[in-house]
């Protein structure tokens, strides 16, 4: 994200906004070119693999940038497919039997001993319970630090008011289940890359995922999942060009 922010005490919000819009438009064109080339090179092969799973699909949806929620029974899987590459998917999970027992970022980092998530990692709750397990992952590194974008923070960073954002998407998704803004904890960002340098500094950079990459999560108990397919235009978290993802809920075949 280096260069996208125009910083300084003497910089007006209007100057910051003009700078952000100009650079984001330039970055978007380069990102579109990259995505087209990668999709032609690896997209069909990766998507073919992503659509293979040993069970029965319970739902299969294309999710545009915006809010989404789904309830899963224990043992069900949720597969999230990045169709175009570099598309951040903000993710929260709650115990369906006790929504106050929700995904806890600090517990997840402590108990997995990593700030990045990948295959084999478990998503822990406030009470230290395992809500879901990442059983497959074709990327290998997903963010736990960056949180969700909001229109308020976007305005501070880019000088642009009332941007589409993940916090509002989460509020919309959770409202369908009788929940509120206060029910939003720190979230996972699948497919988003937030490297941490040796000096501790960090920033959002271009994602590592390619068209057709996916993560597959197994519910370890009945859960509610809330997602914001990120609509961010002014940093690289969604490749400067927010795109749809494909979300498949599936159930493994029973062993006879």
User: What is the mean pLDDT for each group of 10 consecutive residues in the chain (256 residues)?
Assistant: 72 93 94 94 96 97 98 98 98 97 98 97 98 98 97 95 98 98 98 95 94 98 98 96 98 80
| Radius of gyration of the chain from its Cα atoms, rounded to whole angstroms | 18
- Give the phi and the psi of residue 166 in degrees, each rounded to 5: -75, -35
Give the residue from 209, 219, 224 showing the smallest Cα distance to 35: 209
If one counts every other C-beta atom within 10 angstroms of the C-beta of residue 130, the result is 15
Q: Do residues 218 and 76 touch, judged by C-beta distance below 8 A? A: yes
Q: Which tokens hold the place of 84? A: 């175009």
Q: What is the pLDDT of residue 1?
A: 47
Rounded Cα–Cα distance for residues 134 and 79 (Å)? 10
Q: What is the pLDDT of residue 16?
A: 92
Q: Which residue has the tokens 């904890």?
A: 185
Q: What is the pLDDT of residue 255?
A: 62
The model's pTM is 0.95
Helix (H) or strand (E) holding 169: helix 166-175
Q: What is the pLDDT of residue 3?
A: 57
Q: From residue 148, give the alpha-carbon distance in Å to each of 47, 88, 89, 161, 171.
A: 27, 10, 10, 16, 12
């Amino acid at each position: 994200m280096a260069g996208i922010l125009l910083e300084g005490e003497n910089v007006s919000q209007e100057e910051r906004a003009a700078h952000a819009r100009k650079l984001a438009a330039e970055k978007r064109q380069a990102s579109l070119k990259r995505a087209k080339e990668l999709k032609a090179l690896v997209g069909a092969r990766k998507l073919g693999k992503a659509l293979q799973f040993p069970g029965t699909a319970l739902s299969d949806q294309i999710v545009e940038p915006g809010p989404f929620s789904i309830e899963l029974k224990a043992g069900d899987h949720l597969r999230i497919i990045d169709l175009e590459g570099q598309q951040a998917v903000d993710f929260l999970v709650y115990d369906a039997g006790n929504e106050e027992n929700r995904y806890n970022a600090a517990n997840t980092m402590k108990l997995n001993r990593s700030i990045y998530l990948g295959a084999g990692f478990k998503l822990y709750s406030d009470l230290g319970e395992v809500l879901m397990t990442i059983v497959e992952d074709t990327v290998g590194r997903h963010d736990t630090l960056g949180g969700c974008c909001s229109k308020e923070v976007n305005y501070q960073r880019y000088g642009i008011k009332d941007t589409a954002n993940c916090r509002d998407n989460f509020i919309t998704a959770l409202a369908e289940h009788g929940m509120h803004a206060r029910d939003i904890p720190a979230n996972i960002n699948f497919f988003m890359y937030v490297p941490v340098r040796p000096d501790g500094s960090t920033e959002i950079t271009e994602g590592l995922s390619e068209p057709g990459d996916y993560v597959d999560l197994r519910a370890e108990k009945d859960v509610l999942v809330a997602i914001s397919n990120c609509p961010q235009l002014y940093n690289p978290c969604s490749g400067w060009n927010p795109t749809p993802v494909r979300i498949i809920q599936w159930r493994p075949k029973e062993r006879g």
